[in-house]
Structure 1
Amino acid sequence: MAVLPEGVSWRKVTIWSVAAVAALALAVLLARFLISLPTVAAFIERYPGVATAPESSPVGLPGWLRWQHFLNMFFMIMIIRAGWLVRTTQRPKAFWTRDNTKFIKTAGEPTKISFNLWIHLAFDVFWVLNGVIFIILLFVTGQWMRVVPTNWDVFPNAVSVGLQYLSLDWPTEHSWAHYNALQLLTYFITIFIAAPLSLISGFRMSPSWSTRWTRAGKLLPLEVTRKIHVGVMVYYLLFIVVHVTLVMATGALRNLNHMYTGTDDVSWTGFWYFAASMVVVVIGWVLARPMFLQPIASIGGKVTAR
């Protein structure tokens, strides 16, 4: 059975799960009632769900973005896995101690951390590098216009889309040309708010944070930062679940072709690429263990058993 964080029991998880399902059912009923009202129906007709976008907004997804999407997915899954193990493992089986004589020489005692934390930090580095490249290419190629709001009508359109989703009368998808307003806002929050928050809070919690930075430490108290970091992880998990669900429920083959083949057609090609990418993720999940990663970790430090 999976290990839960301290203070969390399966009884609580079950209760919260049942409560979440009940709340979702009530939300669906409420949304269906609301859209039956003439005023709300007129609102949805006025704001069908697509925000105003620049005329030069690009259509389709280029190859670099599709590769970035896969790498981001892979790194994020590995990061969440390792982060969960760091939070729930009470007695780590292996540790990593930094070698202060390699690469960057530092004074003081070498840093000793659990191997799960090393895995977490190692994938963090790749995720950040991938993110920096993504942001640069996003603005260089104009793809930013697909994920950054440029008109205030994005908000009423997002409310309209939310009502349509909750009522189960889902809006027509045209993601090859543009995202709906709710997607646009969600992607914007994920890229430009959640990602920086996870980076800053993670750095504050990492061994790289110097104890000499007392002023910065007061601005970012450790306990508050830890809650922010966990909160962002929960946001990512919810985002992944909703994102994958909608991809599969709103025309899976077409959506998978958008992201994996760069075409706007309905064929099984994108699905097979998706299946292959899942195999890569599973292999990464299996290999993200001390017995496989020890040679790499040993380059910058020493791996020891408990």
Structure 2
Amino acid sequence: MSNLVAALQTPEVRKKLAWGIPLAVVALAGVVLLAQWFRASEAGQSFLTQYPGETELPTGAPVGFPAWLNFQHFLNAFFIVLIIRTGWLVRTTQRPAAYWTRNNRGLLRTKGEPKKISLDLWLHLSLDFLWVLNGVIFVILLFITGQWMRIVPTTWEVFPNAFSAAVQYASLNWPIENGWVNYNSLQQLAYFLIVFVAAPLAIATGIRMSNAWPGPSARISKIYPLPVARAIHYPVMIFFVLFVIAHVTLVLTTGALRNLNHMYASNNGDSWLGFGLFAGSLVLTVVAWILAKPAFLQPVATLSGKVTRQ
């Protein structure tokens, strides 16, 4: 957080914000007015009637969210928040507080001395592994239980319906939400991109940037250059951040109690159970954020390597 605050205080960033924020407000107002004009026009009304914003699910699509999906949603959110934090620290910290060197023994033994990496990078890679493991289990269960039908488009009509939903959101007259039964097409495309495009890109580029990748002289390194991975990895992280912001905003503004029950309590009611579980997950995430410091990480990191200050 201190690195982010320092970056925002630089003259270059403050100058960009001084121009960027007013321009963003004007652009946003323009989008809202344009969407409202389109909705009021005859062509817009005809389009929204033909494409209401969602497509029919395949026969046999499940209704509701099982408990395993709720739990994995929590794990995914927990890991991704910490991954973004540690990734930002790796990118911006010039003098890490501590370093980690892998134990070169047993199944992990390799030729030469293991590379020393920052403790932030060690935590980033460790969280990456847990996030990938959770993701693999998630995708397998999606296809076993049929939940994939909710987020994988099965008709080309998803695109005009996604545009319809976007127009409805932009006009501030939002589409009717019924995520327990079916997502609107814009949500469906967004979830599909996160699970089947952005996540694989993050994994593929992250592996290329890790110390486990063969050296620059290896043939595979020449086929898949490091600058290419770096050029993709950071924008993917930005995409995740923007998705999280939009996702949380819509969850809280389109029926918070019902949505949180969907995501955390496996029910379609308006009780406070989902909110309570969500609040508990936030507490756990905040505690993990606070404890992600060398003093607390060192005992865990020393189980697989040596932690030093230099």
TM-score, normalised via structure 1 length: 0.96
Q: Residues 52 and 151 of structure 1 are in contact (CA less than 8 Å); yes or no, is this contact kept in structure 2?
A: no
Count the aligned residue pairs.
306
Residue correspondence of structure 1 range 1-306 to structure 2 within 5 A: 2-4=5-7, 9-211=13-215, 214-306=218-310
Deviation for aligned residue 1:282: 0.4
SS state of the match for residue 4, structure 1? helix
CA distance in 2, matches of 1:8, 1:299: 43
Deviation for aligned residue 1:195: 0.2
Q: List runs of 5+ in structure 1 lacking aligned partners.
A: none
CA distance in 1, matches of 2:274, 2:260: 5
SS state of the match for residue 3, structure 1? helix
CA distance in 2, matches of 1:303, 1:147: 43
CA distance in 1, matches of 2:278, 2:64: 18
CA distance in 2, matches of 1:42, 1:24: 25
Deviation for aligned residue 1:216: 2.5
Residue deviations 1:71-120, cap 9 Å, x none? 00000001000000111111111111112124411001211111111110
CA distance in 2, matches of 1:42, 1:253: 33
Q: Which moved more, 1:32-41 or 1:214-223?
A: 214-223
Q: Residues 54 and 145 of structure 1 are in contact (CA less than 8 Å); yes or no, is this contact kept in structure 2?
A: yes
Q: Which moved more, 1:268-277 or 1:98-107?
A: 98-107
Q: Which moved more, 1:20-29 or 1:117-126?
A: 20-29
CA distance in 1, matches of 2:182, 2:29: 30
**Partner AA of 2:147 in structure 1:** Q
CA distance in 2, matches of 1:271, 1:293: 30
> Residues 101 and 3 of structure 1: is their aligned pair in 2 closer, same or farther, counting only changes over 3 Å?
farther
Q: Which moved more, 1:135-144 or 1:8-17?
A: 8-17
CA distance in 2, matches of 1:217, 1:17: 41
TM-score, normalised via structure 2 length: 0.95
Q: List runs of 5+ in structure 2 lacking aligned partners.
A: none
CA distance in 2, matches of 1:218, 1:17: 41
Q: Residues 216 and 222 of structure 2 are in contact (CA less than 8 Å); yes or no, is this contact kept in structure 1?
A: no
SS state of the match for residue 6, structure 2? coil
Deviation for aligned residue 1:290: 1.3
CA distance in 2, matches of 1:253, 1:179: 17
Q: Residues 100 and 307 of structure 2 are in contact (CA less than 8 Å); yes or no, is this contact kept in structure 1?
A: yes
> Residues 213 and 199 of structure 1: is their aligned pair in 2 closer, same or farther, counting only changes over 3 Å?
farther
> Residues 172 and 197 of structure 1: is their aligned pair in 2 closer, same or farther, counting only changes over 3 Å?
same
Q: Residues 102 and 300 of structure 1 are in contact (CA less than 8 Å); yes or no, is this contact kept in structure 2?
A: no
Deviation for aligned residue 1:180: 0.4
**Cα-Cα RMSD:** 1.7
CA distance in 1, matches of 2:11, 2:302: 35
Deviation for aligned residue 1:32: 0.9
**Partner AA of 2:51 in structure 1:** Y
Residue deviations 1:201-243, cap 9 Å, x none? 0111111111166333233222221121000000000000000
Identity of aligned residues (%): 53
Q: Residues 100 and 119 of structure 2 are in contact (CA less than 8 Å); yes or no, is this contact kept in structure 1?
A: yes
